[in-house]
């Protein structure tokens, strides 16, 4: 397996671990989600170019469309949390309801 694909898959895994671990801000996890999408874009583009499979160039563009939708909804949730609690700290978020 070429070393370049190993590095890009490693970048995907590092971003995945970044989503699963929480620090003080919620937006840091959203940035790691954008990192996942970036690594998926790069891998699908390299695969389409390497195999000379021109039709597969549709996949990165469609991925970017749905990633933009998902980033918009994520940021809307962040804004609504920030409007409710004043800041997007993880400590404010709780599933407990009185």
Partner 1 sequence: MTYVLFTLSVMLVMGFVGFSSKPSPIYGGLALVVSGVVGCMIILNYGGAYLGLVMFLIYLGGMMVVFGYTAAMAIEEYPETWGSGFEVLACFLVGLMMEVGLVLWVLDFDEVVVMVGFNDMGNWVVFEGEGSGLVRSDSIGAGALYDYGRWLVVVAGWTLFVGVYVVIEITRGN
Q: What b/e readout covers 42-56, taking b as 16+ CB neighbours within 10 angstroms?
A: bbbbeebeeeeeeee
**Contact map string, positions 42 to 71, toward partner 1, x by CB under 8 A:** x--xx-xxx-xxxxxxx-xxx-xxxxxx-x
The answer to the question of residue 15 lying near partner 1 (CB under 8 A) is yes
**Phi (first) and psi of residue 75, to 5 degrees:** -70, -35
Half-sphere exposure (Cβ direction) of 66: Cα atoms closer than 13 Å: 8
The answer to the question of residue 17 lying near partner 1 (CB under 8 A) is yes
The answer to the question of residue 93 lying near partner 1 (CB under 8 A) is no
Binding site for partner 1 (CB under 8 A): 2-4, 6-8, 10-11, 14-15, 17-18, 21, 23, 25, 27-28, 30-32, 34-35, 38-39, 41-42, 45-46, 48-50, 52-58, 60-62, 64-69, 71-73, 75-80, 82-84, 87-88
């Amino acid at each position: 397996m070429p070393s370049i694909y190993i590095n890009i898959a490693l970048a995907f895994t590092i971003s995945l671990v970044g989503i699963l671990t929480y620090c003080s801000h919620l937006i840091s996890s959203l940035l790691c989600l954008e990192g996942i999408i970036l690594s998926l874009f790069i891998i699908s583009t390299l695969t389409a170019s390497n195999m000379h499979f021109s039709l597969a160039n549709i996949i990165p563009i469609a991925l970017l469309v749905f990633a933009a939708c998902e980033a918009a909804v994520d940021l809307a949730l962040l804004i609504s949390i920030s409007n409710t609690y004043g800041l997007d700290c993880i400590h404010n978020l709780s599933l407990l309801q009185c």
